[in-house]
Amino acid sequence: MGAFTPTLFVVSGPSGAGKGTLVEQVRSLRPDLGLTVSATTREPRPGETDGVSYHFMSADAFQRMVDEGGFVEWAHVHGHCYGTPVSEVEKNLVSGRSLILEIDVQGALQVKEKYPDAVLVFIKPPSLDVLEQRLRGRGTETEESVALRLANAREELKLADRYDAVIVNDDLACAVKELLSTLECYERK
Ligand code: 5GP
């Protein structure tokens, strides 16, 4: 096993594939991982806190930050803008921490262009039917939003082969183990 190299990981996959829960569990087992908070123009959901879940911004404020080069990457996702502030990534890299960016596929490919050593990990749902059940089960999405997220999922799944690793999130505990070993494998290669 090689020496530890702080690594920038990008985790993405369709909305409802379970990335959020998976990354949250991996973070609790790897408290050394750096945290980043993305910016978005969408409205907060119940229980979400500004500055913790996201930096919630108006479309104007978001555009100003784009113009000032304040994002490593940004993308339109499900009708809203999402972006990773440069400051959030740099603060971790300068302190020698590995970090996980949990972002959509368009953003992931932009990160790889800027940081060629970044490792892209794709989280797949076991099937599109399971994905649909999970999205409906959340109870937070409108019918229109479920349809949009499913259509986007079909497109995103086509890009899985551009990723360095693919994890199928069927059983959460297995997926957690797999993501943990993927991180370690790249950090110590
Ligand atoms: P949600 O609205 O459900 O929180 O997130 C919707 C989508 O936006 C997810 O697929 C999530 O990965 C993506 N997303 C969250 N933050 C960012 C970001 O900073 N950049 C990009 N490109 N996508 C993001």
pLDDT band of 6, cuts 50, 70, 90 = very high
Topology classification of domain 1-34+97-189: Rossmann fold (3.40.50)
Confidence (pLDDT) at 104: 85
Topology classification of domain 37-96: Guanylate Kinase phosphate binding domain (3.30.63)
Query: Tokens 């302190």 belong to which residue?
Result: 95
Position in ligand 1 atom list of the atom nearest CA 38: 19
Domain ranges of the chain: 1-34+97-189, 37-96
pLDDT digits (tens, 9 = 90+) for 113-155: 989 999 999 999 999 999 999 889 888 888 998 999 899 999 9
| Residue 156 alpha carbon to ligand 1 centre in Å | 13
- pLDDT at residue 9 tops 80: yes
Report the residue among 22, 24, 38, 106 best suited for mutation to probe ligand 1: largest number of ligand atoms under 8 A from its CB. Answer: 38
Position in ligand 1 atom list of the atom nearest CA 53: 4
Percent of the chain past pLDDT 90, that is, above it, reads 80
| Residue 82 alpha carbon to ligand 1 centre in Å | 6
| Residue 15 alpha carbon to ligand 1 centre in Å | 8
Position in ligand 1 atom list of the atom nearest CA 42: 2
- pLDDT at residue 159 tops 80: yes
pLDDT band of 185, cuts 50, 70, 90 = very high
1-34+97-189 and 37-96, same CATH topology? no
